[in-house]
Amino acid sequence: MLINYDRIVRNKYIKQYEDFNTMENQTVLEKLDAKISQMIQKCEDLKNENEIIRSELVTLKAQQEIKDAEIEKLMEENTMKDLEIEEIVNKIESILG
């Protein structure tokens, strides 16, 4: 009879330990699930931010190309004006002798 009581008490403690261990594992799993959800959300946020930045980059590159073309055009115009000025100076010098 003593052996059965000892076995019953031991089984009771084992069951309590298993229940506690299960609750602890659920808590750990819940924490892990929450962390994974946070990581997934952060990843999605970063993907969206990356897409916005890529779009801005494309826009900025297009604007830069337009500005570069405008600068090149102005430099060519400036060179032509310099040539015109040089021609006028040469004409004036030839008239003055």
What was the pLDDT predicted at 19? Answer: 67
Total structural domains within the chain: 1
Higher-confidence residue: 62 or 12? Answer: 62
Q: Write down the mean pLDDT value for the chain.
A: 87
Residue 58 falls inside a structural domain = yes
Mean pLDDT across the stretch 17-42?
Answer: 82
Residue 89 falls inside a structural domain = no
Residue 83 falls inside a structural domain = no
Higher-confidence residue: 17 or 88? Answer: 88
Residue 53 falls inside a structural domain = yes
Residue 86 pLDDT > 70: yes
Q: Whole-angstrom Cα distance, residue 6 to residue 21?
A: 22
pTM of the model: 0.55
